Structure formats: C-alpha cells, structure tokens
Amino acid sequence: NENDYDPKKHHVISNASCTTNCFAPMTKVLNDNFKIKRGFMTTIHAYTADQRLLDAPHKDLRRARAAAHSIVPTTTGAAKAIALVIPELAGKLDAIAIRVPVINASLVDFVCEVEKSTTPEEVNEAFKTAADGPFKGLIQYSEDPLVSVDIIGNPYSMIFDSLTTKVMEGNLIKVLGWYDNEWGYSARLIDLIKFVGEKL
C-alpha cells in the first residue's frame, strides 16, 4: 500500500510486524492468482522479549511461562494487519501464534479456501513467478529441505517452502513460508526508511 503514502498527511506510519511482512506477500500472491474465500494462519514463532524466561507474572498467563521450556499458544495481530494492506481480505482471515523454544527464525503456516481450482504445481509456479517478478527481493522461492536454522540471517520477508505445498480437492491450499523475525524484519525497516526519506 506504499502508493497510498502522503508525506503531507501521514506523519505516523507502521511497518507492521515481522509476521505480517511474511504473511502479506503470501496472501497477495494467493489472492491474486486463486481468490481467497477464507483462511487461517498459524505462525510458529521464535520466543520473544515479551515472554518470561522463567515462570513469572505476565498479563497473558501463557506468556508468563518459561519461554525456553514450553510451546506457548498466544495471539498475533497479523490477520488484522493484512486487512489494512489488502482491504478485500478484511473479515476473511484469522490467525494464532505458537511460540516455540528457538531464539530466532519463524514460520507461517497458512491454509485457505480459494475460488479457483488449482494444483500444488500451479501454486508453486505462482510463487516462483512472484519471486522472480513483482516480489523480487521480498519473496525467495526455495526447493531445498529447509529447517529453521537455515533461515537465520536471511533478509527476505518470506522464504517460500515449495516442498511442503499441499492442495486438497482443488480448492483447499496449504503453504509454508519461513522468515527471520529479526534480520528479515530489520531489512524491511531499512526499506521503509529509504522510501520515506525519498518522499521528504
């Protein structure tokens, strides 16, 4: 939605979250190619500074538990944020976060129902085309058997895991996208600073 930016009116802007920066291009590609009817996203997310290292007080009783010792279901605002950048998806998405005991690298697991019947090969081709074209520098298309440690230090917003793409009965799609929730997000902050600076 960078084309909507007006430096005379928009004095406080948001780069959203690391998860949103992964999820947004994923939903954009799927919606443009297959038209999303509804979807549910789970982010399997490295634990963060908002959690407790030992069991200790926190307003979220799950985040109060020892982060490096537990798998912690919690909230994410990524689905709501998508509606701000892709308004036609408003009300069609929901999401949850599962914080896991790794210090960095996270994964978006997205399942959606689409209008256009498709195959895993067509879904992968759509992401490959996007990675080579309009999302060059943001989406990386991978055919490697990745694990989370492979993602650390990767500057892309989403590393699309083509080996895990699934389609059921033509209209139910499951895709995975990796992201470095620290380094990858920092790269997008730099992009935003450059973009705003050029408009001043």
Contact 71, 100 (CB under 8 A): yes
pLDDT value at residue 155: 98
pLDDT of residue 61: 92
d(Cα 3, Cα 49) in Å, to the nearest integer? 33
pLDDT value of position 79: 87
Per-residue pLDDT, 5: 87
48 residue type, one letter: T
pLDDT of residue 58: 94
Closest C-alpha among 100, 104, 124, 92 to residue 26: 124
In this prediction, residue 88 carries a pLDDT of: 95
pLDDT, one tens digit per residue, over 74-105 is: 999 898 899 988 999 999 999 999 999 999 99
Is 112 tagged catalytic? no
pLDDT at 14: 84
Active-site residue, from 5, 10, 17, 18: 18
Question: Residue ranges per domain, the chain?
Answer: 2-199
Distance (Å, whole) CA 196 – CA 200: 7
Low-confidence stretches of the chain (pLDDT < 70) are none
DSSP E strand boundaries for the chain: 36-46, 72-74, 93-100, 106-114, 139-142, 158-161, 166-168, 172-179
Q: DSSP 3-state assignment of 27?
A: helix
What pLDDT is stored for residue 152 in this prediction? Answer: 98
- Residue 192 has a pLDDT of 92
Nearest residue to 18 (alpha-carbon basis) of 51, 48, 59, 58: 48
pLDDT at residue 145, as a whole number = 98
Strands 158-161 and 172-179: antiparallel
pLDDT per position as a tens digit, 98-113: 999 999 999 999 999 9
CATH of domain 2-199: 3.30.360.10
Q: What does the pLDDT read at residue 3?
A: 78
Burial of 145 (0-12, 13-18, 19+ CB in 10 A): exposed
